[in-house]
Amino acid sequence: MLNHAAHAYYVLDAPVMEDPVYDRLYRELVELETADPGLISPDSPTRRVGGAPADGFTSVAHRIPLLSLDNAFSHAELDDWYGRLLKVLDREPAPGEPLPALPMVGELKIDGSALALSYEDGLLVRAATRGDGERGEEITSNVRTIQSVPLRLHLERPPAWVEVRGEAFIPEAAFAAINAERSERGEAPFANPRNACAGTLRQLDPKVVASRRLSFFAYTLHLPDDWQAGPQDPPAPRSQWQALGWLKAAGFHVNPHCALCPDLAAVEAFCDRWEEERRSLAYATDGVVVKLDDLRLQADAGFTQKAPRWAIALKYAAEEAPSRLLRLTCQVGRTGVVTPVAEFEPVPLAGTTVSRATLHNADRLAELDLCAGDTVVVRKAGEIIPEVVRVLRELRPAGARRLELPPTCPECGSPLVREEGEAATRCVNNGCPAILRRSLLHWVSKGALDVDGLGIKLIEQLVDRGLVASIADLYRLDAALLASLERMGETSARKLVAALSASKGQPWHRQLYGLGIHHVGEVNAKALARTFPSAAELAAAAAEAPERLLAVFGIGAEIAQSLQQWFATPANQRLLEQLRQLGFSLAAGTDPGEGLAEEAAAGPAPLTGLTFVLTGTLPSLSRSQAQALIEAAGGKVSGSVSRRTSYVVAGAEAGSKLTKAQTLGVSVLDEAGLRTLLESGSG
């Protein structure tokens, strides 16, 4: 009864009992469960607020990757996305013909924090943050406090597992009340509802989370292929529109302001409507998410490395505000790039106060024609990153001096260099303190070696005092020396030394990313590490066989050239040797998937140009091991079957992907067939 009442109140906005009645029944339930703990069920309303604060959060792997969306900022960019979608689906019109109409769903883009909810046999068993899309932080106790998240699905015959994705958020009224309470207590108010939501979800005490009154909208559903609905249950959806209906029937709060649009024109009208009407909503939105409605066509469209091809977020134009320029400063990055930064009088913008914005490079500085004392128009690109849009020249002071990049590095005084054809201006002094500081900060960052306790302030002390001159020097620090630094005690120093020592065991792809090679990000580092399972092999390929670099999916000429330059630099060669002497393997470890990748990478790439889809359970390979094996041999692994699929590798309990492959006439392999293909190189 209490769960029904809570659902009616928080999800349906249709209360079925008065608040005092609910409170009295809730107290009675607490008394009964206290007297007899055996009465406590997993979906009891009393389970929504946890007990003692947790010690921390555990990193967990998402069953299904929680990807971000590509963004569009205009109708023209939305049209371009639709054109790419038609192309990948082989539905491009002939010259002169109108665009085919594909039904799409428009949903408001809620400005909050993405969550992944996992249910087993109808019960909520895990909730996690987005994290990096593959892994997130497990915050189940906190999410249980969100009343619009059902603890048990409202289904007669729930599936063995269900993955639900959605957005947690703080409504505007609750946000205002929270900030008022914080001000009364003398605490700093939150900058905006999004930041307040993200910070709330990472509170260690669920009772604090419950007090913040978060809400949740569900928008994506993943079900087992073989689920059979009960007589009173909604059937497995075949479209995004049906999926929203399924989520609503299962007990979730689904945003009511969504629409099934028959064509692109209807989508654009929906976007235009909500650009104006969103200001009347009780929660923050920053755009519209457009999704292809047909789930089968979504599978055909597939994914890029970072985002689904069948969905896009149209972000609304950012709020703009004028401000007076105070000064031009410069930042030196870890690759030596000198970035001009405009500092201006603080101005409120899209929920926060901003006072500085990057100007990117010398070309952008010249394009703006920026002068000292100018009045500039500032906005947030994507409502996140402040940027200077234009200069109000009519307000320029008489005789104002034009601003340019300095001729020398603001950190070390070395002459700055801008090579022909490049937009960036660089300091090329490898001993520049700014380059060193940023390189160290990158090395210890979460995506790289993930060394807890080593932030920018401590790095600045180490560099400024001459205690650290390279990444390798970090591992020569001892606890006694660290404890003598500002804001460092003996306990913190011992923990930092232990964290540095533990970081030597990070996998090879993290070590590669941490080296900070120009253009080599996390995704490219993983791809390179799968193909070249050691620094020695990658260096050899860069020096002797650059064509092998170009054969790696996602690696182009610019990245290959950057790798060649980095490994050919004597200082970098010395760094690698020092790291080896300090105990870094700079190679793949003993994980079975890594071993398979090494085995495949040792020979030619027999699967180059082939696309595979994995389904079911293989006899001796996990899904990740099979993927590593295929990618190391030059192949690509896709999550969906289409006419472009070369092979489907099917194991036990293969589902709809196998059926679709048979329908399309795609070749099907078992694990033995995959190994044979790898060994023979025939395609």
Report the CATH number at residue 520: 1.10.150.20
Same domain, 628 and 482: no
- In the chain the first and final C-alpha atoms are separated, in Å, by 61
> What are φ and ψ of residue 357, in 5° steps?
-155, 140
Helix 456-464 with 433-443: angle, nearest 10 deg: 140
Q: Which has the closest alpha carbon to 261: 419, 391, 103?
A: 103
Task: Specify which residues 118 forms β-bridges with.
Answer: 126, 163
Task: Specify which residues 371 forms β-bridges with.
Answer: 402
Residue 343 lies in a domain: yes
Domain-terminating residue out of 503, 535, 557: 503
Tens digit of each residue's pLDDT (9 = 90 or more) over 184-235? 777 777 767 887 888 889 888 888 888 888 999 999 999 999 999 999 999 9
CATH code at position 221:
3.30.470.30
Tens digit of each residue's pLDDT (9 = 90 or more) over 485-503? 988 999 999 999 999 999 9
Confidence of residue 138 (pLDDT cuts 50, 70, 90): very high
Same domain, 618 and 567: no
Same domain, 131 and 195: yes
Helix 522-531 with 623-632: angle, nearest 10 deg: 80
Residue 19 lies in a domain: no
Q: Is residue 670 pLDDT above 80, yes or no?
A: yes
- How many other β-carbons are positioned within 10 Å of the β-carbon of residue 469? 12
Domain-terminating residue out of 255, 275, 296: 255
Same domain, 383 and 438: no
Contacts of 496 (CB under 8 A, 6+ apart): 451, 453, 454, 477, 479, 482, 488
Owning domain of residue 580? 508-589
What is the dihedral angle through the alpha carbons of 209, 212, 218, 224, rounded to the nearest 10 degrees?
10
**pLDDT, position 681:** 52
For strands 385-391 and 375-381, give the pairing: antiparallel
Tell me if 564 sits within 8 A of 546, measured CB to CB. Answer: yes
Range picked from 394-398, 516-520, 535-539, 672-676 for highest mean pLDDT: 535-539
**pLDDT, position 598:** 41
**For the purposes of burial, counting CB atoms within 10 Å of the CB of 257, is it exposed (0-12), middle (13-18) or buried (19 or more)?**
middle
Same domain, 368 and 436: no
Same domain, 618 and 476: no
Q: Is residue 11 pLDDT above 70, yes or no?
A: no
Q: Is residue 593 pLDDT above 60, yes or no?
A: no
pTM of the model: 0.55
Confidence of residue 318 (pLDDT cuts 50, 70, 90): low
Same domain, 350 and 395: yes
Contacts of 637 (CB under 8 A, 6+ apart): 611, 612, 613, 614, 626, 627, 630, 631
Residue 189 lies in a domain: yes
**pLDDT, position 120:** 96
For strands 258-261 and 104-110, give the pairing: antiparallel
Number of structural domains in the chain: 5
Same domain, 495 and 610: no
**pLDDT, position 1:** 63
**pLDDT, position 249:** 96
d(CA 389, CA 403): 16
- Give, for 327, the enclosing helix (H) or strand (E): strand 320-332
Residue written as token pair 């070309």 = 363
d(CA 1, CA 274): 37
Tell me if 626 sits within 8 A of 618, measured CB to CB. Answer: yes
Q: Which has the closest alpha carbon to 21: 32, 33, 5?
A: 5
Confidence of residue 351 (pLDDT cuts 50, 70, 90): low
CATH code at position 628:
3.40.50.10190
Residue 183 lies in a domain: yes
Range picked from 15-29, 336-350, 424-438, 462-476 for highest mean pLDDT: 462-476
Q: Structure tokens of 604?
A: 């030619």
Identity of the residue numbered 55:
D
**pLDDT, position 16:** 61
Average pLDDT along the chain = 86
Same domain, 388 and 442: no
d(CA 241, CA 238): 8
Residue 668 lies in a domain: yes
Contacts of 303 (CB under 8 A, 6+ apart): 67, 309, 638, 639, 640
**For the purposes of burial, counting CB atoms within 10 Å of the CB of 342, is it exposed (0-12), middle (13-18) or buried (19 or more)?**
buried
Q: Is residue 625 pLDDT above 80, yes or no?
A: no
Domain-terminating residue out of 471, 503, 535: 503
Residue 582 lies in a domain: yes
State the catalytic residues. 109
Residue 550 lies in a domain: yes
Same domain, 232 and 343: no
The arithmetic mean of pLDDT across residues 443-459, rounded, is 92
Same domain, 227 and 333: no
**pLDDT, position 190:** 77
Confidence of residue 528 (pLDDT cuts 50, 70, 90): very high
> What are φ and ψ of residue 485, in 5° steps?
-85, 165
CATH code at position 386:
2.40.50.140
Same domain, 325 and 200: no
Q: Is residue 377 pLDDT above 80, yes or no?
A: yes
Residue 23 lies in a domain: no
